[in-house]
Amino acid sequence: MKLCSNRPEGFGPSSQLSSSSLPTTCFIDTMLIPLPTWLALLLLSLLFLHTLLCPSLSTSQPRTRPPTLPLTLHFLLMLSLVLMNSIIIARLSLLGWRIGLLPFTYVSVILSSGLFSTNGFRGRVRYWGVISTVIWAGGATMSFLQAAGLVQQLGWDWEERKGGRYPVGDEVVDGLVVGALWVVVGVLDGVWGVWGRRWVEGRVESRVERRAGKVDEIDQGVNNKGNLAC
């Protein structure tokens, strides 16, 4: 298959090199790695449709963005994911192996960053945490599956790549690192989902109270002027 040619184990779920029960790396890179992104985009479309059909529900969502610390942590995690995936793609290309649909991971990173930094596109996407869960859980699962498949089918020290431009051991470690980064993203999303909602609601309530206080001050000033005029 042109998307991941030069893979010795073949494309299909069953490897031509071993009797491994796991899918081949070509199948994972082409079919499974992009799967969380496809599911996330589908869910995003459905939730946008839900917003159009029930606009009153979307306006009730808080629109305050997360504070600086979680935003910075999330940005660093996304940057790390971009760098790690870029390293994997570049080293596979140097090896002469096609990269399948690995660039789809960038779409997941962009979508995850956008949802987190805008609190669900400024409150317009209800249940955006479901989309984030699909992204990080799917990304972690596929990365760990990819690493396990490499070990089972090619072995940690496969002779044809040993000492070359991209040894199997290096690719396994890279896959595990990507999976671990997605897990950390999930932890951050979970913490923000529990604590952040209270923080956002508190910010919204404080703004409403400040505005109400200003209105009361204006009304009181108008009343005082009226009393003086009398």
User: Other C-beta atoms within 10 Å of 2: how many?
Assistant: 5
- Report pTM: 0.77
103 DSSP 8-state letter:
T
pLDDT of residue 205: 58
pLDDT-wise least confident of 8-22, 77-91, 109-123: 8-22
Residue for token pair 């400024």:
122
In this predicted model, what pLDDT tens digit does every residue of 36-45 receive, in sequence order? 999 999 999 9
- CB-CB neighbours of 214 under 10 Å: 10
CA 41 vs. chain centroid, Å, equals 11
Where is average pLDDT lowest: 98-112, 170-184, 191-205?
191-205
| pLDDT per position as a tens digit, 133-178 | 999 999 999 999 989 888 877 665 555 666 667 888 888 999 999 9
CA distance 4 to 6: 7
State the chain's mean pLDDT as an integer: 78
Q: Which residue has tokens 């005082």?
A: 224
Pick the residue with more confidence: 203 or 113? 113
Q: Are 12 and 24 in contact (CB under 8 A)?
A: yes
